[in-house]
C-alpha cells in the first residue's frame, strides 16, 4: 500500500511538473498563420491572416493581426471581396489542461473590401469597429499549437478561422 501511495504521489508530482513546464514554455512571443472563411451579406469568402503576439501569462495574451482576401463570391449579381484587415486584440485564456485551452478575444479591427457588378463602378468600403470572438487552442508541442476561432471582425464581417501558431 505504501508503494502504491508513493507511486501515486510521484505521478501527481510529475504531471504537475510537466504541466508547469509546458505552460512556462508558452510564455513569450509567438506568431501564426490562419485560413479563414468570411461571411459578408451571405457570401462566402476566404482570407489568409497572420498574427504576432505575446503570451504574458497562462491567462493573457496580446496580438496584432494582418490579413488579406484570397477569394471573392457573388450573390444577386454583386461580387464581394475582402481587400485586407488589421487589428489589435487581447486574449483571455482558460487552460483546461496542458494540451487544451479556450479563450475569448476582443479588440479593435479595420477591414476594407469591394462590392461591384459588371456594369457599375467598384464600391469600396472600409469599416473599423470593436471585435469580439471565441476560440480554442490545441497545444501539440511546447512551441506549436493549432487553433480554431470565430470572431466578429467588424459590423458585417464574421471570420471562422483555423490556424497554426509557433512560439519563439
pLDDT tens, per residue, the chain with 168 residues: 444 444 444 444 444 444 444 444 479 999 999 999 998 888 999 999 999 999 999 999 999 999 999 999 999 889 999 999 999 999 999 999 989 999 999 999 999 999 998 787 789 999 999 999 999 999 999 899 999 999 999 988 999 999 999 999
What is the reported pLDDT for 11? 45
What is the reported pLDDT for 156? 83
What is the reported pLDDT for 5? 45
Quote the pTM value. 0.80
For the domain made up of 2-167, give the CATH fold: Porin (2.40.160)
Q: Return the beta strands (E) in the chain as ranges.
A: 28-40, 43-57, 60-69, 73-75, 78-97, 100-116, 123-141, 144-154, 157-167
What is the reported pLDDT for 46? 96
Cα dihedral 15, 21, 23, 25, rounded to 10, equals -150
Give strand pairing partners of 44. 39
What is the reported pLDDT for 107? 98
Domain assignments of the chain as residue spans, ordered by start: 2-167
Residues 26 and 167 sit within 8 Å (Cβ to Cβ): yes
Amino acid at each position: 500500500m505504501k508503494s502504491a501511495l508513493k507511486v501515486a504521489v510521484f505521478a501527481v508530482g510529475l504531471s504537475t511538473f510537466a504541466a508547469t513546464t509546458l505552460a512556462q514554455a508558452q510564455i513569450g512571443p509567438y506568431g501564426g498563420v490562419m485560413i479563414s472563411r468570411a461571411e459578408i451579406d451571405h457570401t462566402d469568402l476566404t482570407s489568409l491572416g497572420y498574427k504576432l503576439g505575446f503570451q504574458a501569462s497562462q491567462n493573457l495574451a496580446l496580438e496584432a493581426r494582418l490579413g488579406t482576401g484570397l477569394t471573392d463570391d457573388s450573390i444577386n449579381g454583386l461580387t464581394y471581396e475582402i481587400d485586407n484587415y488589421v487589428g489589435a486584440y487581447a486574449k483571455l485564456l482558460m487552460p483546461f489542461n496542458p494540451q487544451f485551452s479556450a479563450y475569448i478575444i476582443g479588440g479593435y479591427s479595420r477591414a476594407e473590401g469591394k462590392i461591384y457588378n459588371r456594369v457599375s463602378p467598384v464600391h469600396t468600403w472600409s469599416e473599423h469597429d470593436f471585435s469580439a470572438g471565441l476560440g480554442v487552442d490545441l497545444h501539440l508541442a511546447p512551441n506549436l499549437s493549432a487553433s480554431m476561432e470565430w470572431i466578429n471582425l467588424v459590423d458585417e464581417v464574421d471570420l471562422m478561422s483555423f490556424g497554426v501558431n509557433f512560439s519563439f
